[in-house]
Every structure is written in C-alpha cells, then in structure tokens.
Amino acid sequence: MRFLLLSLVTFFYSSTAFAQMTDTTELPYQQIPDYPADYSPGNILARMIDGLGFRYYWATEGLTDTDLAFTPSEGSRSTQETLVHIYGLSETIVNAPQNQPNIRPANHSNLSFDTLRYRTLANLKQASELCQGKSADEVAELTIVFQREERSSQFPYWNMINGPIADAIYHTGQIVVFRRTSGNPINSKVNVFLGRTDF
C-alpha cells in the first residue's frame, strides 16, 4: 500500500509539472543554470544532471516525425523508443533523492513525443534541485529502490552515477546521431562546454 501511494504521488507530480508546461519556452534547460555556490557532493551531482538536461533539451529540440521514426537498423530502437527509455531513466533519477521506489514493470510507450520531452525535462530539473546542497553523508543515505509486486531491491547512489545518469547521457548522444542521420542535425550553435547557445 505504501509503495502504491508513493507511486501515485510521483505520477501526480509528473502530471502537474506537465500541465504547467504549456509551450517550449517554459521548458527548463534551454540554457544550463548558473554555477552552484560550491563543490559540495550534492551540487556536483546536480551539475551532472543539469548537463544532461541541457544536452537532452537541444538533442530533442525540433525533432520531426521522420526523426522519431528513424532506426539505425532493423530490430534497433527508433528515436521515439530511445526517448521512452530516457524518460524511464529520468524517473529513476528523480525518485532516488526522494527515496521513492521505481515500480516495475513500467510501460511508457503510449506517451507522445511532447509528453515524453516535457516530463523528462521536468524530472531532471526536480532531481537537480533535490540534490543541490546535499552533504556527503546526505548523499550516502540515498538509495535506489526497485519494486516489483512484493519484491524490492535496493542499491546505493553510486549505482545512479554509473547507471541511469551515465546511461541517459549515452542515449541522448544517440538521439543526436540519429537525427543527424535522418537529415535534421542538432543546432550547430549549441555549445555544450559553456552550456549555452551561441546565437
């Protein structure tokens, strides 16, 4: 019952965040946020997530139906299916700082591109804000929980860094390659080192 309640709260937040985003001008990560105040563990984690958010924003900006349908080979994930996977990763990323379980199985294949994009960016923004300022001891208390019916498994936050965060960056890079191959390359003025667009 507790896990069901927590998953409903997570769904409510995602739905609310999505409802509040009425157009792309309101999406986070068009530009990377200002530097954190210091190099605390939580701020470093937040900055990693912000870097992912910025890359994801521009990797997905202006994708067309042709781009979304693109697949590099038969049997491979399409761009749309890769976005579904990244969204699932973003849910894991935002759940850990709240000590909320990841309910399995999860199926997001029915979500539209716009919904996936809005909710993924909202999850990353919330995760970054939840990590900001955390001390090493506070980060050490965070756990990744996977819940499948009555069975659950827990992992330390270390697995978040080499797992979902790194995986989401990896797959965001795939989107960049896929859209270039389908004839719609990412905006050439995006500067991922500076975290801004040189317009």
Q: How confident is the model at residue 1 (pLDDT cuts 50, 70, 90)?
A: very low
In terms of C-beta distances under 8 Å and separation of at least 24 residues, what long-range contacts does 82-86 make, across chains too?
A: 82/171, 82/174, 82/175, 82/178, 83/113, 83/116, 83/117, 83/120, 83/175, 84/108, 84/109, 84/111, 84/116, 85/171, 86/56, 86/116, 86/120, 86/168, 86/171, 86/172, 86/175
pLDDT at residue number 107: 86
pLDDT band at 2 (very low <50, low <70, confident <90, very high): very low
What digits encode the pLDDT tens for the residues 20-33? 444 445 899 999 99
Six-digit token string for 53: 């958010």
For residue 15, pLDDT beyond 50: no
Q: What percent of the chain has pLDDT over 70?
A: 87
Q: What is the pTM of this model?
A: 0.86
Q: Give the range among 13-17, 25-29, 159-163, 183-187 with minimum mean pLDDT.
A: 13-17
DSSP-assigned states of every residue in the chain: -HHHHHHHHHHHHHHHHHHH--SGGG-TTSSPPPPPSS--HHHHHHHHHHHHHHHHHHHHTT--HHHHH--SSTTSPPHHHHHHHHHHHHHHHHHGGGT--EEES---TT--HHHHHHHHHHHHHHHHHHHTT--HHHHHT-EEEEEETTEEEEEETHHHIIIIIHHHHHHHHHHHHHHHHTT-PPPTTEETTTTEE--
Those residues whose C-beta lies under 8 Å from the C-beta of residue 158, and which sit 6 or more positions away, are none
Q: What does the pLDDT read at residue 22? A: 44
Q: What is the mean pLDDT of residues 156-182?
A: 97
pLDDT tens digits for range 40-95:
999 999 999 999 999 999 999 999 999 999 999 998 999 999 999 999 999 999 99
* Arithmetic mean of pLDDT over the chain: 89
Which tops the pLDDT comparison, 165 or 7?
Answer: 165
Residue 187 has a pLDDT of 95
Q: Is the pLDDT of residue 161 over 60?
A: yes
Radius of gyration of the chain, Cα coordinates, nearest whole angstrom: 17
The pLDDT value recorded for residue 106 is 83
In the prediction, which pLDDT does 104 show? Answer: 84
- Residue range 2-20+41-95+113-187 forms a domain whose CATH class is mainly alpha
Mean pLDDT of 164-175: 98
